[in-house]
Amino acid sequence: MKKWKPSIIIENSIKQNGRVTADVIEKTYDIKEHQMIRFMAEEFQRRIEVEVAMEKKQLILLMDEIRELQDVERKEQSNLVFKFRSLINILLSDCAKLQQRSLIWNDAANKVNEILDVPLLQCEPMTIEETHTFRMHPIYSEVYEIYLAYEELSPVLTETFRAFIQSLLKSPTLYEVWVLLKIIHYFSEWGLDAHEFVVDIQKKYKDSKSISGYKKQFRMENRPFDIGIYYDFTFDGSGYRPDFVIGFFEKENKQWSLHTLDAKYKCYSEMTKGEQTLLNDLKHSGTRYLNDLFGGELKVKSATLIHTDIKSLNWNVKEKQVNTENNQHTIAHFHFTPSESKNLQIYLKRLLHENSGLDHCCPKCGQFVEGTIQNTKEFQNKISRKILYNCSVCEEVWVANFCSSCSYHGRNMKLFYYNGYPKYLARQLYKYPTHNYNIQVGESWDVHCPNCYKTFDHKINYIVKHTVKNEPMIIRSF
Ligand SMILES: [Zn+2]
Ligand SMILES: [Zn+2]
């Protein structure tokens, strides 16, 4: 299209050669606003992909849990069977919500793809800035407003936090910090204020360009305990620096139970001397901390290794070289990766109940649960009991049972005041509908005692195969 413009006419009058030149203006849609709109649509597309992948993973985890629950439901004879049904129903309704969301995502993805196919938007994307057209044009400004509203939905990263995340991505401690964030995430379900943590971390990073040495006691409202976390902190007495120390402070008796956790980005199964390396790591990150992290009187109650070898897991390492005093459930190792992620939750549940003795606290929501004592047996100075816990807030259920054989022989007993008299209480054995850390008994809601491997029917003896790498295996009973 050729246009006569005043400038051309004037120019022409000045020029003496008599030839008229005119600007050639082509009608084009390749304006920067379109490039920015393409950027917006591609951003939506990426976001949808990430959300869909995350929800798919969540759905698989829920389905696995349902299958596990259905299995125990089939085998259960007692009235607990109703409890399992209601847990299954809760999970089924969560699954239905996720499936419903996947339809909505699908719809959104189709719409975004249609937008990306529009001829106007066949251009290179460009980062967004406010332009005259975005401010003034009725339609363009509407598009721009929608994008601003979308951006408002995502949390704004402060400059400090952005810098922290960028430094992290290149850092060899990426796995450790990821584990730390996951621990905070699970603890937030027990009532920890995650926002408090983010504010702390920003401050720590701003002051020292690293988050090493972070420590904090989180006050937990309406829960029987507070949580303490040390990350990469050097302890004075020993000079040791575990990746994590996790502590539970029982408010009622003002006592701490402390545990260490070291992270190793290692796949032992693929190493030539994997088993030996694991053994050395367990001595270094287990035995050493258990014996004298603090020196003196205060003792760590459990020491665990978290790693990325999905073929290795042992919640109760008994190997003499590592567990010199043969204490049950004090040394362990487990795998945790983005695709195999249920063990961290099991670990935290185990710390709460098995290692800290807070078995009256719900492993899903952290609330106090008054257990129902089902049968108390007194024999000489010994006492044993079974307690059923049922959380009215989140419907979680768990049982603290005991091993008749160990109780009879007085193994692993705990001093306990009963009606004002000192007695010895049989060690509790914990059982959950899913995600257990004790060895399961195939056909009933029972577990093998971690000390003698017997089931509740204590007449049967078991031959057990031990390895450092994996959980003990029951190979024959007689
Ligand atoms: Zn609960
Ligand atoms: Zn036993």
Integer Cα distance of 291 and 222 in angstroms? 34
* Burial of 117 (C-beta count, 10 Å sphere; 0-12/13-18/19+): exposed
Cα-to-centroid distance, 252 and ligand 2 (Å): 30
Model confidence at 115, pLDDT cuts 50, 70, 90, reads very high
Q: Pick the ligand that lies closest to the CA of residue 409.
A: 2
343 CA → ligand 1 middle, Å: 19
462 alpha carbon – ligand 1 mean position (Å): 35
Q: What percent of the chain has pLDDT over 70?
A: 92
Say how many Å lie between the CA of residue 390 and the centre of ligand 1. 8
Q: Which of 163-177, 248-262, 438-452 has the highest mean pLDDT?
A: 248-262
Ligand nearest to the CA of 369: 1
CA of 86 to the centre of ligand 1 (A): 14
Instruction: From 353, 351, 315, select the one nearest 335 (Cα to Cα).
Output: 315
Classified as helix, coil or strand, 379 is: strand
> Is pLDDT of 330 > 70?
yes
State the pLDDT confidence band at 1, using cuts at 50, 70 and 90: very low
Ligand nearest to the CA of 412: 2
How do strand 473-477 and strand 421-425 relate by DSSP bridges?
Answer: unpaired
Alpha helix (H) residue ranges in 352-466: 404-408
313 Cα–ligand 2 center, Å = 22
Closest ligand by atom to 462 CA: 2
In terms of Cβ atoms closer than 10 Å to its own Cβ (0-12, 13-18, 19+), residue 352 is buried
Tell me: pLDDT of 242 over 70.
yes
The string over 312-336, giving b where at least 16 C-beta atoms fall within 10 Å of a residue's C-beta and e elsewhere, is bbbbbbbbeebbeeeebbbbbbbbb
Question: Of 84-88, 164-168, 280-284, 431-435, which range is least confident?
Answer: 164-168
Q: Other C-beta atoms within 10 Å of 267: how many? A: 16
What's the CA-to-centroid distance between 439 and ligand 2, angstroms? 12
Residue range 425-468, pLDDT digits in tens:
998 999 998 999 998 887 677 888 998 888 877 667 778 888 89
Average pLDDT over residues 108-122: 94
Mean pLDDT of 238-244: 95
Q: Which ligand ends up closest to the CA of 457?
A: 2
Q: How confident is the model at residue 24, as a pLDDT? A: 55
Nearest ligand to the CA atom of 90: 1
Residue 286 has pLDDT above 50, yes or no: yes
Expressed in angstroms and rounded, the spacing between residue 222 Cα and the centre of ligand 1 is 12
Question: For the purposes of burial, counting CB atoms within 10 Å of the CB of 237, is it exposed (0-12), middle (13-18) or buried (19 or more)?
Answer: exposed
Among all bound ligands, the one having the nearest atom to the CA of 426 is 2
CA of 224 to the centre of ligand 1 (A): 13
- Residues with CB in 5 Å of ion ligand 1: 362, 364-365, 391, 393-394, 396
Residue 4, pLDDT > 80, answer no
* 193: pLDDT strictly greater than 80: yes
Segment 76-94 mean pLDDT: 85
Ligand 1 centroid to 362 CA: how many Å? 5
**Mean of per-residue pLDDT scores for the chain:** 88
Which ligand is nearest the CA of 365, by number? 1
For residue 237, the model assigns a pLDDT of 82
Distance 278 CA to ligand 2 centre (A): 27
**Region of poorest pLDDT, from 63-72, 150-159, 340-349:** 150-159
Q: Which ligand is nearest to the CA of 447?
A: 2
Residue 301: strand, helix, or coil: strand
pLDDT tens digit string along 335-390? 999 888 899 999 999 999 999 999 999 999 999 999 999 888 888 889 999 999 99
